[in-house]
Every structure is written in structure tokens, then in C-alpha cells.
Amino acid sequence: MKKVKKVNKELLSRETVFEEDGCIKKITLGMAEKMIDAALRWARNGGFECSVAVLDASGTVIAVHRDNLMPETLEIAIDKAYTAAAMTAPTRMMAIMTSPMTAMGVGPDGHGTSLGFRHKLRWCTVNGGIPIRQAGTSMGMKVIGAIGTSGCPSGTDDNLCSQAGATSLYE
Amino acid sequence: MEITLGIAKKLIHAGIKEALLKGNPCTIAVVDGDGWLVAAERMDGALIPTFDIARDKAWTALAFKMPSSDIYKFGDSTMPGFGFNTTGWNDRITPLAGGLPIKDGNEVIGAVGVSGNIPKQDIAVCKTAVDAIL
């Protein structure tokens, strides 16, 4: 009986685990669930439904939930988070870099557009994926995972939904 | 009954509780009646490939409306379905144990797949998860 109580406590623990130096070392399942619930709540408040995925630093899914009737949004959410984790940058940045309409896309040597990634099957350079860092948002911090959203009416909404999830880590 | 996110979460949490009691970290995946993934969660300590294996098991159980380990019999040369495993029509099909269809009466409404440990323990987690919602 004692063992069962302990397990229940572990199961429900959604506390973010901070190291002594204030960094988050890794994302646990409880933390991933907390992020996804917060993101889905944000979307529900806005009146729409979406899929949210949380990945760890290896680009493997920790948890993914689909809240709507569009099956493919779940795969796209995973791919967006994978792209963010692999590039250690928001997919918003990749969208700008690969767009032929922006200054980065039409740079002197076409640097951005040459990053077309069309051969990368899992690459998704669309708004909605955000990397999660050990602490803060500085580029120098190590990426411990990523969150991706798909299914919102617009890319901006996807981004905001992911941000709502990422922010909930510090609640 | 239909597999919604709420039901899938309930199912997964029941499975996680069972897996924690036994101390076997694993991935639990739930697909709906059409074979699409609804939710999947990988526990702390579960290996990287368990996610893909768990969802493949769930899909196989749903597609054949039987436990995923039962499709081994189609590869038996004494059975009428012999040769089925050589068609290569799909890369998701797996004969690994740990995928169970969720039945509401006679109707298959979804499936659950578990990966992370030896078949016996995967099946135990599967059964606990399915029992939690029926």
C-alpha cells in the first residue's frame, strides 16, 4: 500500500525540476504533460483545437496529444518540434531563412534559399516549433527539447500556442 | 464510444501507473478507430525507439483487429495466409507482442500499443490500460 502511494505521487508530479544552478537539465514526462495541457488550454480558450508535441534533445517524442479531427496535424506538430530541436532555433526563423521573399532568402549568395531542405523528409519550416533551453532564451544555452503545435488557424497562432506551453515550464 | 483525447489520456495514465509499479519505463500509444495516433507518451527512462515501435504495434492491432502478436500465424507455412509477410505492402506492420485492439462490444474502436520491455510485461501494461476505460 505504501508503494502505491509513492507511485501515485510520482505519476502526478508536474513540478519543473531545476538544477542547483537554476538550469533545467531534462524534460520529464510530467513536465511535458504540463506543457501540452497549457498549450491545449490556450488553444481551447481561443476557440480552436490543435495537436501539440514535446520532444527531448534527441529529437524523440516524449508526449504528443491530438485534440482535433485532423490526423495529420499530429505528425506535423512532431516534425515542427523536431526541426526546432535539430536546428536549435524556432521554426519561424527557418521559415524566414528559406523564404525567397525575405532579405535572408535573397542574400548575396542565396544562402537562405539554398537551405531549401526539400530533401529532408522530416523538415518542417513553418511557424509553430520552438526549442526549449536550459535557462532563458539565449542562443548560447543548450537545447533540452522542443515543443511543436499544428492545427491552429494561422502560423502565428501555432507559435503563440507553443509559447504558452513553453512558458508553463516556469509556472 | 469513440477514442477522444480525454479517453486516450485516461488510458495512458492507467498504463503508466501499472508500468511504474513494475518499474518498467515504456511508451504507450493510442490510435483511434481509423488507425490515426491520438496520443502517445514516453516515460522517463524509456529508450528512444520505443515510441515508433509502440505506435506501430497499436496500428497493427487496429488494422488486423487482433493482438499484434497474433499476426505471426500468417507467416506459418501450414496456414492459408502463408506468404503474407513477404508482400512488403506496409512498413508499419509488426508481429511484436504489445498491441491490443480496444473493443466496445464487437466493434473495434481503437488500439493501444506498448513498447519498452519483454512481451509479457508490455501485454500486462496494455491490458491494464484497456481495462481502465471499458
What pLDDT, on a 0 to 100 scale, did the predictor assign at position A111?
54
A-chain residues within 8 Å CB-CB of B26?
none
Q: Is B132 on the interface with A (CB under 8 A)?
A: no
Q: Is A156 on the interface with B (CB under 8 A)?
A: no
Q: What is the pTM of this model?
A: 0.89
What pLDDT, on a 0 to 100 scale, did the predictor assign at position B8?
95
A-chain residues within 8 Å CB-CB of B51?
60-61
3-state secondary structure B72-126: HHHHCCCCCCCCHHHCCCCCCCCCCCCEEEEEECCEEEEEEEEECCCHHHHHHHH
Q: Which residue of A3, A29, A74 is in closest CB contact with B44?
A: A29
Is B36 within 8 Å of A71 when comparing Cβ atoms? yes
Distance (Å) from the C-alpha of residue B134 to the closest C-alpha of chain A?
Answer: 21
Q: Is B108 on the interface with A (CB under 8 A)?
A: no
Residue type, B21: L
Instruction: Supply the mean pLDDT for chain A.
Output: 84
Q: Is B42 on the interface with A (CB under 8 A)?
A: yes
Which A positions 38-97 lie with beta carbon below 8 A of chain B? 58, 60-67, 71, 74
B-chain residues within 8 Å CB-CB of A67?
5
Among chain A residues, CA nearest to B12: A63
Is A66 within 8 Å of B17 when comparing Cβ atoms? no
Q: Is B103 on the interface with A (CB under 8 A)?
A: no
Is B42 within 8 Å of A60 when comparing Cβ atoms? yes
Task: Scan for cell 466496445, then name that residue.
Answer: B104
Is B20 within 8 Å of A32 when comparing Cβ atoms? no
Does A10 score more than 80 pLDDT? Answer: no
B-chain residues within 8 Å CB-CB of A8?
17
ipTM for this model: 0.89
Tens digit of pLDDT per residue, chain B (134 long)? 889 999 999 999 999 999 999 998 999 999 999 999 999 999 999 999 999 999 999 999 999 999 999 988 887 888 777 777 777 778 888 989 999 999 998 999 999 999 998 999 999 999 999 999 88
Task: Scan for cell 488507425, then name that residue.
Answer: B35
A57-104 residue pLDDT tens: 999 999 999 998 889 999 999 999 999 999 899 998 888 777 766 665
Rg of chain A's alpha carbons, rounded to an integer? 17
Give residues with Cβ within 8 angstroms of A70, minimum separation 6. A51, A151
Distance (Å) from the C-alpha of residue A1 to the closest C-alpha of chain B?
Answer: 11
A69-72 contacts, C-beta under 8 A, 24 or more apart: A70/A151, A71/B34, A71/B36, A71/B37
A150-170 residue pLDDT tens: 999 999 999 999 999 999 998
Distance (Å) from the C-alpha of residue B48 to the closest C-alpha of chain A?
Answer: 6
SS3 B42: strand
Task: Scan for cell 533540452, then name that residue.
Answer: A144
Length of chain B: 134
Among chain A residues, CA nearest to B30: A65
What pLDDT, on a 0 to 100 scale, did the predictor assign at position A1?
47
As given in the structure block, the three cell numbers for residue B120 are 509479457
As given in the structure block, the three cell numbers for residue B88 are 512488403
Is A122 or A102 the better-scoring residue by pLDDT?
A122
As given in the structure block, the three cell numbers for residue B97 are 507482442
Q: Is B20 on the interface with A (CB under 8 A)?
A: yes
What pLDDT, on a 0 to 100 scale, did the predictor assign at position A119?
67
d(CA B65, CA B3): 15
d(CA B69, CA B83): 17
3-state secondary structure chain A: CHHHHHHHHHHHCCCCCECCCCCECCCCHHHHHHHHHHHHHHHHHHCCCCEEEEEECCCCEEEEEECCCCCHHHHHHHHHHHHHHHHCCCHHHHHHHHCCCCCCCCCCCCHHHHCCCCCCCCCCCCCCEEEEECCCCCCCCCEEEEEEEECCCCHHHHHHHHHHHHHHHHC
Q: What letters, b where the CB count within 10 A reaches 16 and e where it falls short, cover A9-34?
A: eebeebeeeeeeeeebeebbbbbbbb
d(CA A61, CA B46): 11
d(CA B39, CA A148): 14
